[in-house]
Amino acid sequence: MFKIPFLDLPPLRGAAGTVRLPGSKSISNRVLLLAALSEGRTVVRDLLASDDTAVMLESLRTLGCAVWREGGDVVIDGLGGQLRAKEAKLFLGNAGTAMRPLTAALSLLAATQGGSFEVSGVPRMHERPIGDLVDALRGLGCEIDDLGNAGYPPLRLRGPSTLALDTPVRVRGDVSSQFLTALLLALPLVAERDIRIEVIGELISKPYIEITLALLARFGIQVRREGWAAFVIPAGSRYVSPGEVFVEGDASSASYFVGLGAIAATDVPIRIEGVGSESLQGDVRFIEAAAAMGAEVKAGPNWLEVKRGAWPLKGLTLDCNHIPDAAMTLTVMALYADGPTTLTNIASWRVKETDRIAAMATELRKLGATVDEGPDWIRVQPLQRWQAAVIHTYDDHRVAMCFSLAAFNGLVTTAAKPVRILEPHCVAKTFPDYFETLFGVVSVDVADVPVITIDGPTASGKGTLADETAKLLGFNVLDSGALYRVTGLAARRAGLDLDDGDAVAAIVPTLQLRFADGQVFLGQEDVSARLRAEATGLLASQVAVHPQVRRALHQLQLDFRRLPGLVADGRDMGTAIFPDAALKVFLTASAATRAERRYKQLISKGISANIEGLRADLEARDERDKNRSTSPLEPAQDAQLLDNSALTIEASVDQMLAWWQQRRPF
Ligand SMILES: Nc1ncnc2c1ncn2[C@@H]1O[C@H](COP(=O)(O)OP(=O)(O)O)[C@@H](O)[C@H]1O
Ligand SMILES: Nc1ccn([C@@H]2O[C@H](COP(=O)(O)OP(=O)(O)O)[C@@H](O)[C@H]2O)c(=O)n1
């Protein structure tokens, strides 16, 4: 996951390949609650690992449920409808799929068994309405206190109290279908007699109710229904664990890759594994909307394949009540269409993680788009003159994921623009590795992938600065010195004459090098510690003088230029390897400072060192690096000079970021 303040997406050009979706959020949290209410053990396979499922799992533990992981599975020993904890405070983040059903279940359990439970969330959760559900529960006889604004969390649910189950439970269905879902999931707890639920108003997001009914059936509860207006939970209903449940992939998450295929998969389709024609989730019908916009879609039982069909895409007018979450993706696809796209019947967007109609309209306009909006609709015009935009994500995973598709603007304009996504880690709500997954199936012009180079003499702090800068930007790192060090080490081990450039260069293609988690492997051997030894640094400096060796290592270094960007440190990064780097820094510090830093670094690693000897070695290395004929150590003409003798690491990083920001179009 990119845990960084912002992620810059360079212009993306194409897409092909296979993605495996994380588990569905809606199914995951329903299954967890049903498993917890059931008697017996449930093994949940392919559960979504995300913020919203984490708060549900934590709540179930707090309520006394035994929950543990076994490999990739989650195992739950259910409560069998019996509360173990009679008092608890549950923090539910921004997870509507946890807040609503837990409120219903705990209200009923408190009424019948006694207890006091507080449910709360992040500030946005306290702005998301729950009054209709609370009214329905109070109508039944549950005792619920508003702890903040009436009709919104936080709430206290307490009991015992007497439930009136002989009259129908009435709940509004036109604000959020989650209220009905919450009642359907929880009322079997008290179904000593038939319980009838009547929906007031036109029920929205019906497909989510289908998921609820299908999962209830898996757990032994057969709800009788009268269209979408009334539902009856039969007397004597009991949750029975099915033993094992598979969570299918998240169909709403699939929408980004369906959109991706429609926009950018010109030759080979994007294959999406985890959802398909047999999916329980209504959002799988997003493929119909994408097809109406021109995508070529094939579907198997649990897979989809999507390619570009019509191009530009076709604008459309669509009632999106059946695909409320996935439909957001259409608003960004609409930028690539031949005419306006109007989405209607989307009032529920206003009460989601953020006001999604307002959020999409505001952020699309930043790209340059013309957008109109109403209480329950949005209209987006196609875009020709794109602007580089900084996209606010409102702590809403879907806003972040949707706007990644704006990075394909280079397919419709010659002046391609990057897109900056603020707080990209908000995707953790449903798809923690979204951007990594995206990067795995998109193509770029390598020249569009931004590079920052840091060159300078030994122990000036290049590696440290490169690592820190890369961490903040989410970029990859190239420690080019490590390549020379490995070459020197391998040449020495092979017994080669280090002055024989041809011989040393000849072993480069045979090196079985692997970089993983900051470690360097040569074949199976972790050589990281060996590489950092000063003696290896001297070997590196000896082999680095040979033009043949430098040529042999050239392509290997270019290969590090991958999405979303690269920070490269060495001696000739800005001059020879990445002459087109957007920011070049030449880092220096006095010889005395550098010798002292290296000394401290070695001592802290338990390696004995002598400061005078170190200084002599580094000056000798400086001389060799500066005076060799090929790629000598010297600042690129367009490099920023940074003498950090008197600067802390933090101050150096701040300076880097300030220079970087000056070069960005945002
Ligand atoms: N600006 C700085 N101020 C103080 N110490 C620094 C600074 N930059 C780096 N160091 C320290 O100096 C040592 C050498 O830095 P390193 O990044 O390994 O240098 P290089 O990659 O240039 O050889 C490290 O222990 C590092 O923590
Ligand atoms: N791009 C590079 C990187 C390293 N090198 C050589 O490899 C040696 C080791 O590089 P390094 O970056 O690991 O060394 P330190 O600066 O960490 O001491 C340097 O002394 C250079 O001679 C190079 O010639 N070109």
The pair of structure tokens assigned to 149 is 């604004």
Residues having CB closer than 6 A to ligand 1 are 458-464, 597-598, 601, 644, 647-649, 652
Q: Which DSSP letter does residue 426 get?
A: G
The pair of structure tokens assigned to 43 is 């093994």
**Which residue's alpha carbon is at the smallest distance from atom 20 of ligand 2?**
541
* Confidence bin at 174 (pLDDT 50/70/90): confident
Assess whether 325 carries a catalytic annotation: yes
- Residue 524 domain-assigned (yes or no): no
Q: Is the pLDDT of residue 136 over 90?
A: yes
The answer to whether residues 609 and 603 touch, using CB atoms and an 8 Å cutoff, is yes
Decide whether any atom of ligand 2 lies within 6 Å of the 418 Cβ: no
The pair of structure tokens assigned to 567 is 């920070």
Tell me which residue of 101, 102, 99, 169 sits closest to 137, measured CA to CA: 169
Residue of 453, 454, 458 with the most ligand 2 atoms within 8 Å of its CB, for mutation: 458
Residue with tokens 């398909």: 276
Regarding whether 351 and 202 lie in a shared domain, the answer is no
Regarding whether 269 and 197 lie in a shared domain, the answer is no
CA of residue 584 to ligand 1 center, whole Å: 18
**Which structural domain range is residue 214 located in?**
25-246
Regarding whether 156 and 71 lie in a shared domain, the answer is yes
Q: pLDDT value at position 631?
A: 83
**Which residue's alpha carbon is at the smallest distance from atom 27 of ligand 1?**
464
CA angle 304, 308, 314 (to 5 degrees): 110
Q: pLDDT value at position 621?
A: 85
**Which residue's alpha carbon is at the smallest distance from atom 2 of ligand 1?**
649
Decide whether any atom of ligand 2 lies within 6 Å of the 451 Cβ: no
Q: Which DSSP letter does residue 76 get?
A: E
* Confidence bin at 72 (pLDDT 50/70/90): confident
Residue of 469, 597, 602 with the most ligand 1 atoms within 8 Å of its CB, for mutation: 597
The pair of structure tokens assigned to 307 is 């390619």
Q: pLDDT value at position 632?
A: 86
Residue with tokens 């306009």: 365
- E runs forming strands in 481-535: 513-516, 519-522, 525-526
**Which residue's alpha carbon is at the smallest distance from atom 19 of ligand 2?**
541
Regarding whether 310 and 176 lie in a shared domain, the answer is no
Pick the atom of ligand 1 nearest to 652's CA. 1
Angstrom distance (rounded) from CA 572 to CA 470: 19
Pick the atom of ligand 2 nearest to 484's CA. 7
Regarding whether 282 and 377 lie in a shared domain, the answer is yes
CA of residue 492 to ligand 1 center, whole Å: 27
Q: What secondary structure does DSSP assign to 554-576, as a single string?
A: HHHHHTT--TT-EEEEESSIIII
**Which residue's alpha carbon is at the smallest distance from atom 22 of ligand 2?**
541
Ligand nearest to the CA of 568: 2
Q: pLDDT value at position 616?
A: 93
Angstrom distance (rounded) from CA 576 to CA 637: 12
Tell me which residue of 20, 88, 23 sits closest to 54, measured CA to CA: 23
Query: Looking at 206, 230, 246, which one is the last position of a domain?
Result: 246
Q: pLDDT value at position 467?
A: 96
Decide whether any atom of ligand 2 lies within 6 Å of the 625 Cβ: yes
The pair of structure tokens assigned to 524 is 């199976």
CA of residue 455 to ligand 2 center, whole Å: 9
Return the percent helix, strand and coil in the chain, to nearest 5: 40, 20, 35
Residue of 479, 520, 541, 624 with the most ligand 2 atoms within 8 Å of its CB, for mutation: 541
Task: Report which of residues 118 and 622 the model is more confident about.
Answer: 118
Q: pLDDT value at position 274?
A: 92
Query: Looking at 421, 446, 471, which one is the last position of a domain?
Result: 446
Tell me which residue of 397, 519, 577 sits closest to 25, measured CA to CA: 397
CA of residue 647 to ligand 2 center, whole Å: 22
Task: Report which of residues 146 and 627 the model is more confident about.
Answer: 146
Q: pLDDT value at position 278?
A: 86
* Confidence bin at 399 (pLDDT 50/70/90): very high
Decide whether any atom of ligand 2 lies within 6 Å of the 570 Cβ: yes
pLDDT digits (tens, 9 = 90+) for 585-637: 999 999 999 999 999 988 888 888 899 999 998 898 898 888 888 888 899 99
Dihedral over alpha carbons 348, 352, 355, 358 (to 10 degrees): -60
Q: How far is CA 145 from CA 116, 118, 183, in A?
A: 10, 9, 18
Q: Which residues, listed in sequence order, are joined to residue 120 by a DSSP beta bridge?
A: 91
CA of residue 9 to ligand 1 center, whole Å: 30
Q: Is the pLDDT of residue 3 over 90?
A: yes
Task: Supply the CATH number for residue 93's domain.
Answer: 3.65.10.10
* Confidence bin at 57 (pLDDT 50/70/90): very high
Regarding whether 409 and 300 lie in a shared domain, the answer is yes
Ligand nearest to the CA of 460: 1
**Which residue's alpha carbon is at the smallest distance from atom 1 of ligand 1?**
649
Ligand nearest to the CA of 655: 1
Angstrom distance (rounded) from CA 358 to CA 659: 33
Q: What is the mean pLDDT of residues 183-187?
A: 97
Task: Report which of residues 5 and 81 the model is more confident about.
Answer: 5
Ligand nearest to the CA of 541: 2
Pick the atom of ligand 1 nearest to 466's CA. 17
- Report the 10 Å Cβ neighbour count for 91: 17
Q: Is the pLDDT of residue 204 over 90?
A: no
Regarding whether 212 and 111 lie in a shared domain, the answer is yes
Q: pLDDT value at position 353?
A: 86
Percent above pLDDT 70 for the chain: 100
Percent above pLDDT 90 for the chain: 88
Decide whether any atom of ligand 2 lies within 6 Å of the 100 Cβ: no
- Report the 10 Å Cβ neighbour count for 616: 13
- Residue 638 domain-assigned (yes or no): yes
Q: Which DSSP letter does residue 16 get?
A: -
Regarding whether 437 and 386 lie in a shared domain, the answer is yes
Pick the atom of ligand 2 nearest to 531's CA. 13
Regarding whether 36 and 11 lie in a shared domain, the answer is no
Ligand nearest to the CA of 605: 1
The answer to whether residues 531 and 485 touch, using CB atoms and an 8 Å cutoff, is yes
Q: Is the pLDDT of residue 563 over 90?
A: yes
Query: Looking at 246, 277, 301, which one is the last position of a domain?
Result: 246
* Confidence bin at 532 (pLDDT 50/70/90): confident
CB-based contacts of 451: which residues, under 8 Å, 6+ apart? 561, 565, 566, 567, 568, 578, 580, 581, 582
Q: Is the pLDDT of residue 418 over 90?
A: yes
CA of residue 592 to ligand 1 center, whole Å: 13
**Which residue's alpha carbon is at the smallest distance from atom 25 of ligand 2?**
571
Task: Supply the CATH number for residue 648's domain.
Answer: 3.40.50.300
Q: How far is CA 267 from CA 15, 39, 261, 286, 335, in A?
A: 9, 51, 10, 22, 22
Regarding whether 31 and 13 lie in a shared domain, the answer is no
Residue of 464, 468, 603, 617 with the most ligand 1 atoms within 8 Å of its CB, for mutation: 464
Q: pLDDT value at position 624?
A: 86
Angstrom distance (rounded) from CA 464 to CA 441: 31
CA of residue 589 to ligand 1 center, whole Å: 10
Q: Is the pLDDT of residue 207 over 90?
A: no
Regarding whether 458 and 332 lie in a shared domain, the answer is no
Q: pLDDT value at position 518?
A: 81
- Residue 493 domain-assigned (yes or no): no
Q: Is the pLDDT of residue 269 over 90?
A: yes
Q: Which of 283, 325, 396, 622 is catalytic?
A: 325
Q: pLDDT value at position 297?
A: 98
CA of residue 620 to ligand 2 center, whole Å: 13
**Which residue's alpha carbon is at the smallest distance from atom 3 of ligand 1?**
648
CA angle 341, 343, 346 (to 5 degrees): 160
- Residue 67 domain-assigned (yes or no): yes
CA of residue 368 to ligand 2 center, whole Å: 45
Q: What secondary structure does DSSP assign to 392-421, as a single string?
A: --TT-HHHHHHHHGGGGGGGT-SS---EEE
* Confidence bin at 347 (pLDDT 50/70/90): very high
Regarding whether 423 and 315 lie in a shared domain, the answer is yes
Decide whether any atom of ligand 2 lies within 6 Å of the 488 Cβ: no
Pick the atom of ligand 1 nearest to 456's CA. 22
- Residue 527 domain-assigned (yes or no): no
Angstrom distance (rounded) from CA 253 to CA 46: 15
Mean pLDDT of the chain: 95
- Residue 526 domain-assigned (yes or no): no
- Count of the separate structural domains present in the chain: 3
CA of residue 489 to ligand 1 center, whole Å: 23
Ligand nearest to the CA of 466: 1
Q: pLDDT value at position 469?
A: 98
ipTM of the complex: 0.95
CA of residue 479 to ligand 1 center, whole Å: 14
CB-neighbour burial class of residue 213 (10 A; exposed 0-12, middle 13-18, buried 19+): middle
For the chain, give the number of residues.
666
Residue with tokens 């409560």: 79
Pairing of strands 224-226, 230-233: antiparallel
Task: Report which of residues 529 and 155 the model is more confident about.
Answer: 155
Q: How far is CA 215 from CA 34, 361, 423, in A?
A: 8, 35, 34
The pair of structure tokens assigned to 151 is 């009709």
Decide whether any atom of ligand 2 lies within 6 Å of the 602 Cβ: no
Q: What is the mean pLDDT of residues 392-403?
A: 97
- Residue 471 domain-assigned (yes or no): yes
- SS3 labels along 163-204: CCCCCCEEEECCCCCHHHHHHHHHHHHHCCCCEEEEEECCCC
Q: pLDDT value at position 32?
A: 97
Q: What is the mean pLDDT of residues 300-308?
A: 95
Decide whether any atom of ligand 2 lies within 6 Å of the 456 Cβ: no
- Residue 534 domain-assigned (yes or no): no
Q: pLDDT value at position 388?
A: 97
